[in-house]
Amino acid sequence: MSRLRSAGKENSYLLDVLLLSALAGLLRLWGIGFDLPNLYHRDEARYVTIPLQILKSGDYNPHFFNYPTFFFYMLSLAYVAYFLFMASRGRIGSLDGLVLPEQVLPNVVGRATMPSQFLVGRGFVALTGLLTVVLVYWITRRAYGRRAGLLAGLLLSLSPTHIRNSHFVAPDVTMIFIVVACFAFCYETWLCGRRKDYVLAGLLAGLAASTKYNAYPIFIPLLVADLLRREGKGWISADILLAAVFSIAGFLVGTPYAILDLPAFLNGLAFEVRHYATLGDPGVEGQNAFLWYASFLARSEGLLLPLALLEAARALLARSQKVLLFLSFPTAYLFLVSFGAVKNDRTALTIVPFLCMLAGAFLDRALGVLQIRMEGTRHTTAMSFFSAGLVVLLALLWPAWQAAQVNMRFMHEDVRTTVTQWMEAELPAGSRIVGEYYSPLLVDSAHHFRWIDRAVDQPIEWYQQNADYVVFVENRYGGFYLDPSRYLAEVGSYEEMFTRFIPVREFQGGALGNPIHAMVYRVTP
């Protein structure tokens, strides 16, 4: 009998994982070839170039430390498989055939000379996103039961923030996968206290920070797990010290040139520390961090944050130790990033899997209460299913709708491509066009095109002497309008341009999964 139960449990695991993987994979691979061969994501060209350069040159020093290097080494392995596959098809005969992407405007826009390179990189990131969904399911099922695990997995599968970022060759989603894997062993540490769990949690904590620096708070759940298991006896244990050693080792395995090229590493790290601490992005620096994140999560993830907070409050009132562990990482992470100026979907994304686990647990408990209250009533089964379905639908409907919108934008032409094609077809040949960064990509054009950082960096007289048309793109000027009282001068300059110049055409569409607005103005003498 026990064998039958064990087989049934294994089958349920397999079925759940297959269903969640199919849904998560579909949503993360949908539209994965977006924009190619154009590269509008500011970092993708660089992030593909680094691992390709490692393969082509044999120099394992990436000479870029704004991010640590484990992500690039993992991508290098993916590109080894890609290279051998291309060679087996007779498409390339040597590493010289791996042509690097063209960075038309470095760190802003580029063009893929071999678009399949980006499909491989994006596919790798999508895979780590899918595996994160599976891990969230496994952890939540182990902690709260099968139904809670399924609900948590569904919430992350449908997360529009996670889906959007799983489309880009960037380290964020892969870092989160390693963070969640580390947390799985932190949970096992609390549950079982085995030394191997300490070692693996420490190693993965180091590898997570070696994928992206801001993963470092993941060591905190391991400290919490250790303290809870030892019931607060003593300040530190030998196992925690061992985990710390493996954490340092994990970081150095992923970023060995932190020691081998210390000056370059420190300079890159300092740039990111300064960027996150003081620079930020226009429009969000002055906003309260907690209010900004709450607002962002409500707009993108719907009821996810309230459901997670309800479970946290319920469990804290019940004096649950388990919830302290589940809260430790998102609480520490939010506290630390709240001191920084940078606030965006990627900084919010890091806590989304943990919110999904807590929200899944709360939904499971709510469904259980509904079932108990309906026992003994007429039509118990029908009412129970209807009520349960309604609760789950309310939790999933908004993120599912947002996820569909994100992927539809990936499927459609980027608005900047539309603007480019329109300008090539409609504007007089030889027109002098000025565009802000992240504006259309004109290469080998009949027009004379130049980029500037922001349109307000130049006075109107400069445009009258040097331009016939100006292209304004919302993802460049829009930040100033998010906090106009802070940017009175910039907003005033833009408004003067919009008044003095003549509007020619407006475009509404998508860019990198987000809605965006672009405008073409003619410069008046």
Residues 459 and 348 in one domain: no
Phi-psi domain of 286 (left: phi exceeds 0; alpha: psi -120 through 50; beta: other) = alpha
CA distance 393 to 400: 10
Cross-strand bridge partners of residue 449: 433
**H/E stretch holding 2:** helix 2-29
Whole-number average pLDDT of the chain:
91
The Cα 224–Cα 272 span in angstroms is: 28
Question: Is residue 401 domain-shared with residue 450, that is, in the same domain?
Answer: no
- The count of structural domains within the chain is 2
| Number of other CB atoms surrounding residue 32 within 10 Å | 19
Rounded to whole angstroms, the Cα distance separating 254 from 508 reads: 42
Residue type, 13: Y
Distance, in Å, from the CA atom of 167 to the CA atom of 255, rounded to the nearest integer, reads 24
Give the residue from 393, 411, 429 where a domain finishes.
Answer: 411
Q: End of a domain among 396, 411, 426?
A: 411
* DSSP 8-state secondary structure symbol assigned to residue 523: P
Do 122 and 335 contact (CB within 8 A), yes or no? no
Q: Kindly tell me the burial class for residue 483, based on how many C-beta atoms sit within 10 Å of its own C-beta (0-12, 13-18, 19 or more).
A: middle
**Residues 274, 382 share a domain:** yes
The whole domain housing 466 covers 415-522
How would you classify the pairing of strands 514-522 and 432-436?
Answer: unpaired
CA distance 515 to 295: 18
Q: Are residues 420 and 363 in the same domain?
A: no
Same domain, yes or no, for 205 and 302?
yes
Same domain, 131 and 207: yes
- Reduce the secondary structure of 69-128 to three states and give it as a string: CHHHHHHHHHHHHHHHHHHHCCCCCCHHHCCCCEEEECCCEEECCCHHHHHHHHHHHHHH
* 503-518 confidence digits (pLDDT tens): 999 999 888 888 888 9
> Which pLDDT score, from 0 to 100, does residue 339 have?
85
In the chain, what's the furthest Cα-to-Cα distance? Answer: 88
Q: How much is the pLDDT for 379? A: 56
Specify the pLDDT at position 368.
84
pTM summary value: 0.93
Is pLDDT at 442 greater than 80 in this prediction?
no
Domain end (from 411, 438, 467): 411
Residue 377: pLDDT band by 50, 70, 90 thresholds?
low
Tell whether 96 is covered by a domain: no
Distant-in-sequence, close-in-space partners of 517: CB < 8 Å, separation ≥ 6: 415, 473, 474, 478, 506, 507, 508
pLDDT of 104: 72
**Distance, CA of 295 to CA of 495 (rounded, Å):** 27
pLDDT grade for 78, boundaries at 50, 70 and 90:
very high
How many whole angstroms separate alpha carbon 87 and alpha carbon 331? Answer: 48
Do 400 and 447 lie in a common domain?
A: no
Q: Are residues 399 and 312 in the same domain?
A: yes
Q: CA dihedral in degrees (444, 448, 454, 459; nearest 10)?
A: 170
User: Residue 375: pLDDT above 70?
Assistant: no
Q: Are residues 419 and 403 in the same domain?
A: no
Which pLDDT band holds residue 183 (cuts at 50, 70, 90)? Answer: very high
Quick one: average pLDDT of 15-44?
94
In a domain, 75, yes or no: no
- 167 domain residue, yes or no: yes
pLDDT tens for each residue of 84-98: 999 999 999 899 999
Task: Specify whether the CB–CB gap between 173 and 166 falls below 8 A.
Answer: yes
From first CA to last CA, the distance across the chain in angstroms is: 88
Whether the CA torsion 178, 183, 188, 193 is positive or negative: it is positive
Same domain, 356 and 487: no
**For the segment 294-308, what is each residue's pLDDT rounded down to a tens digit?**
999 999 999 999 999
135 lies in the same domain as 227: yes
For residue 59, being part of any structural domain is answered with no
Residue 296 amino acid letter: F
Q: Which of 89-98, 145-154, 353-362, 383-392 has the lowest mean pLDDT?
A: 383-392
